[in-house]
Structure 1
Amino acid sequence: MNVSVALCTYNGEEYIEEQIESILDQTYDISEVVVFDDSSTDSTISKINKYANKYPQLFEVHTNDENVGVEENFARCIKHCKGDAIAISDQDDIWHEEKIEREVEALTREEVSLVFHNSTIVTSSLEQKGDLWSTVQQRVPKNGNQRHLITALTKYNFVQGCTILFDESLKRYLESIPSQWEYDYYIAVVAALTGGLHAIDDELLLYRQHEQQAIGSPEENSLERVRKWTQNSLARNRQSYHEKESRKWKNVLDAIDRIDSPSPDKNKIIEMKCDFERQRSEVYDPDVGIRQRIKTVVDCWNEKGYQRYTDAPSLHSIKDLFASFLVSVYSNLK
């Protein structure tokens, strides 16, 4: 199996060489490293070009004329990869030397379209802070039941981008990555709907935490989540949020359907997610009567929407029920 590495960079001069060295040190031979730099203003590209000049048959380097953002940059990079499988790489991590070998083995053995693994969280100076799957709030499902994995993905993303290896057959679904999606979340959902996922419960990467990185580990506690919800719940932006969530999931299903429809069972999971988010938007709509808003919450609970599509069913249903009253008060005050 020929493996391409999709490496996206932006002002990563401090750690890019360690990342590349760990790619070169893999026990499984890499076929190509495709680099897309998003208009860095530091020495990132010059450091990459040193490796490209040393290994001209291995590196393919592109630079964007202007900054296009993480999602578009990864879409461009993936499009140029020619391998049988594609590994996603950030610019500031360090790969375990057996990372790709272990992932290729799992991808072949499990007959899925995407595998991912746990990682070790480290500081900028590589001081270890524990593993990612134990640190993040949301539990990472490890069983092979694909329906369970898809349902879990509708609640939250548990697939870390820099740990992904996926089959090249997914490329046809990734010509573009919608702006409302994070690239790794989108890839994970597409893979779950079309070919399946497999989790490797081993730490095969040092995941560096520092101030400059685009996305860190989600360590936000429950109190912080409630505080943010309180700030946003008494305005139409909460209604808009759930409407956008409904459209977001419908859009990914439509994008896949245009190429190759998933199984009816998988379709149904996403369609029910869309309906659930649309119903929740009514709870925050001041133009809907309070009785209807309360009925919507009760109906969503009875239909097991909260249980199926939220990570804390009781908390979310109580918040929505409470919001049913607060929206009325807020509307009257206005």
Structure 2
Amino acid sequence: MISVAMTTFNGEKYIEKQIESILNQSLSVDEIIICDDGSTDNTIELIKKYNVQIIQNKKNLGYKLNFKKAMEKCKGDYIFLCDQDDIWKKDKVKEMISIMEKNRNIHVLASSFEYIDENGTLIISKNKKGYSNNNLYNKEVRPDDIVQVKTDEFIYGNYFQGCALAIDKKTKDFFVHHFDERIPHDWIISLYGSLDGGMYFLNKPLFEYRIHSQNSIGVSTLNQDASTHVKRAYQFEERYQKARDALYILDILKINCRDYYLRNKVDYLKIESFMNNHIEYLRNKKLFKLFFQNKYAYYKKLKTIRGRIMDLVYCLK
């Protein structure tokens, strides 16, 4: 059985195209569960035209809890996460399910995507050297290849949007019982899927990811003008959040994946110490201490060379 977990909030502009792209898949899904987070436009009326299950929240939960709720209601052996404003390519379900059924060790599979704008026009994105997945994943993966993504990679960042993921029931059940609101739901799902080597990335674009001013989460920098981006870059909140999130991930592993954490405790305590120091150095603008953190591999995994230079410039401002 194949389920789709979708969340909506004031999505009347694009919701019909998204639902129709799911219903027109070459391999049909068995259920579409939609959790609406208090839409005040015509979203609900539009959804009612289709054979889907609608759950209307009595109060606004926010995107993380709303996705958790939608996933809890899914009965499928495989669950696809879905935004309200993208468009699935016709063979998305067929290709991802085929891979997961042939490789039962894959618990979470992410696909790549193409950007589109508000009008559905393709936005060309060129991968930088050493990157893939429209520069979201800091490893170079050849087109159509499938690669394993290891647990420790997720300490330093999240590389795949929720709408790119297909997960098995085992991972879904673990996620809903070990939910943590500090980190985006898709990041935790990928983390959990990776624990026994079960997180994989298929470098093939299987959906169109829409960029517009109302995106609740995702590739936020594509929605910013240059002055806004520069202004944010030199704020403490922007500079320290990667280290803060790394500490959250380590804590989630410690609490919810105890055996795995204990097997790696020595290394994780070193990373934790580095991250705590990094935050302190940024908060107090300790330029030279930040500079000497470059001798640690943790820093290079946490931030690009440009990001590390910007840390130093931040200290000087």
Question: Which TM-score band applies after superposition, normalised by the shorter structure?
Answer: 0.7 to 0.9
The alignment status of 1:126 with 2:98, answered yes or no, reads no
Distance 2:294 2:102 in 1: 39
2:147 alignment partner in structure 1: 144
**Could you say which residue in structure 2 is the equivalent of 1:25?**
24
Deviation larger for 219-228 or 185-194: 219-228
Query: 2:238 & 2:216 partners in 1: Cα distance?
Result: 25
Structure 2 residue corresponding to 1:302, chosen from 292, 295, 298: 295
Note the 1:253-264 alignment, pairs <5 A: 253-257=253-257, 261=260, 264=263
Look up the SS of the partner of 1:189 in the other structure. Answer: helix
What CA distance in whole angstroms lies between the structure 2 residues aligned with 1:116 and 1:204? 10
Shift of 1:316: 4.3
User: 1:116 maps to what in 2?
Assistant: 110
Give unpaired runs (5+ residues) of structure 1: 53-58
Post-superposition shift, 1:96?
1.0
Q: Which residue of 2 aligns with 1:8?
A: 7
Q: CA deviation at 1:208?
A: 2.0
Measured in 2, the distance between the counterparts of 1:239 and 1:26 equals 42
Kindly state the Cα deviation for residue 271 of structure 1 after the two structures are TM-superposed: 4.8
Report the Cα distance in structure 1 between the residues aligned to 2:262 and 2:124, rounded to whole angstroms: 38
Q: Which residue of 2 aligns with 1:274?
A: 272
Secondary structure of 1:72's counterpart equals helix
Measure how far apart 1:26 and its partner are: 1.2
Look up the match of 2:201: 199
Once the 2 structures are TM-superposed, how far is the Cα of residue 77 of structure 1 from its aligned partner? 0.7
Q: Is the 8 A contact 1:93 1:208 kept in 2?
A: yes
Shift of 1:224: 6.5
Partner amino acid for 1:76?
A: K
Q: Identity of counterpart residues, as a percentage?
A: 25
Alignment match, 1:229: 233
Report deviation, 1:261: 3.4
- Using structure 2 for the length normalisation, give the TM-score: 0.81
Residues 316 and 204 (structure 1), Cα distance of their counterparts in 2 relative to 1, 3 Å cut? closer
In 2, Cα distance between equivalents of 1:316 and 1:261: 30
- Structure 1 position 223, deviation (Å): 8.5
Tell me what 1:64 maps to. Answer: 57
SS in 1 for 2:100: helix
Give 5+ residue unaligned stretches, structure 2: none
Give the structure-1-normalised TM-score: 0.78
How many angstroms does 1:86 deviate by? 0.6
Distance 2:249 2:115 in 1: 30
- Greater Rg over alpha carbons, structure: 1
- Match 2:79 to one of 67, 86, 97: 86
Q: CA deviation at 1:222?
A: 9.3
Count how many residue pairs are aligned between Structure 1 and Structure 2.
304
CA offset digits 1:22-77 (Å, max 9, x no partner): 1111121212111111111112112222213xxxxxx3221100111100100111
Q: 1:306 to 1:254 in 2, by over 3 A?
A: same
Determine the C-alpha separation between the residues in 2 that align with 1:250 and 1:89.
27
Residue by residue over 1:104-153, the C-alpha shift from the partner in whole angstroms, topping out at 9 and shown as x without a partner, is 12223342111111212122222111258678444453363543xx4443
**Quick check: 118-127 or 211-220, which moved more?**
211-220
Asked if 1:168 corresponds to 2:195, the answer is no
Flag the 1:128–1:319 CA change in 2: closer, same or farther, 3 A: closer
Contact 1:151 1:269 in 2 (8 A): no
Measured after TM superposition, the shift of residue 240 of structure 1 is 6.9
Q: Which residue matches 2:252?
A: 252
Distance 1:254 1:221, change over 3 A: farther
Given that 2:3 and 2:76 are in contact with CA atoms closer than 8 Å, whether structure 1 keeps it comes out as yes
